Amino acid sequence: MPGLYFLFVVGLWAWLSLKLAVKITRKLSRSEDGGFLILFFFLILMAVPVSDEIVGGFQFRSLCNQNAVFHFGVSNLEGRTTKLTISPSNAFVPRTVIPIWYSGYEYRDATTDELVVRFHKYRVSGGILIKFLGISESNSPLTLPSRCSPEDNRNEHVSRTFKFNVLN
């Protein structure tokens, strides 16, 4: 049922966007060939409900590209026994268009306390439209993935990838 509701809302918005695009084009252009302008305004109007997610997506991808990468403290990770510390946990990223949270993961050697590997995981919530529709329990965004981490790129947990053990 939520899928039908979503399709109805998208269809309604597409219809309204087309009507508005035609109206705007008629006011701006006196020529008969206003097809390009209608298409241009239609596409702009269709993007308006998810514009916060579009802008927030650039912020989210930038954070992921810069910080959701592995930082190694030692060169020989294999076979080590480590302790995991998560700090901060689900900290809010300020000054973003849509809500973004991050957690810092740090694996340290259990005996020497050397940094073995460190990285961040990011999670994002959807914009105004998905919250308004109320069709997603997690408010996942419509236009971008809801999380990123270097582990996502490998589809495997970091300790299995680099072959070290975790105590906790």
* Residue with token string 């582990």: 151
Residues 23 and 74: their CA atoms lie apart, in Å, by 64
pLDDT at residue number 33:
64
Helix (H) or strand (E) holding 131: helix 128-133
Instruction: Fill in the amino acid letter for 24.
Output: I
Q: What is the pTM of this model?
A: 0.80
pLDDT band at 157 (very low <50, low <70, confident <90, very high): confident
- pLDDT of 153 > 60? The answer is no
pLDDT tens track for 42-100: 999 999 999 999 999 999 999 999 999 999 999 888 999 999 999 999 999 999 999 99
